[in-house]
Structure 1
Amino acid sequence: MSNVLFYTHNKEDLKRVIRMVVEEIRKTEMISNTPISPEEDRLTQKEAAKFLGISVTTLISWKKKGLISYFQVGRPVFFSKTEFLEAARKNPGLIKPSRK
Structure 2
Amino acid sequence: MTQIDLESFGQFIQKLVREELEKFSNTQNHGNEKEFYTREETAKLLDVSLTTLFHWNNDGTLKNTKIGKRVYYSKNEVLARLNP
Deviant stretches of 4+, over 3 Å: 36-39
**How much has 1:81 moved relative to structure 2?**
1.8
Query: Can you give the 5+ residue segments of structure 1 that lack an aligned partner in the other structure?
Result: 1-35, 92-100
Are the structure 2 counterparts of residues 57 and 37 from structure 1 closer, same or farther at C-alpha, using a change threshold of 3 Å? farther
Corresponding residue for 1:81? Answer: 75
Are the structure 2 counterparts of residues 37 and 70 from structure 1 closer, same or farther at C-alpha, using a change threshold of 3 Å? farther
Do the aligned residues in 1 keep the contact of 2:56 with 2:63 (CA within 8 Å)? no
CA distance, structure 2, for counterparts of residue 37 and residue 83 of structure 1: 20
**How much has 1:48 moved relative to structure 2?**
0.6
Relative to its length, the structure with more strand (as a share) is 2
After superposition, the CA RMSD in angstroms is 2.1
Corresponding residue for 2:48? Answer: 54
SS of 1:78 mapped into structure 2: strand
Corresponding residue for 1:44? Answer: 38
SS of 1:40 mapped into structure 2: coil
Which residue identity does 2:77 align to in structure 1?
A: E
Query: Can you give the 5+ residue segments of structure 2 that lack an aligned partner in the other structure?
Result: 1-29
Q: Which has the larger radius of gyration?
A: 2
**How much has 1:40 moved relative to structure 2?**
1.4
Which residue identity does 2:41 align to in structure 1?
A: E
SS of 1:58 mapped into structure 2: helix
Q: Which has the higher contact order (CA 8 A, sep 6+)?
A: 1
In the superposition, the TM-score normalised over structure 2's length comes to 0.54
Number of equivalenced pairs: 55
Relative to its length, the structure with more helix (as a share) is 2
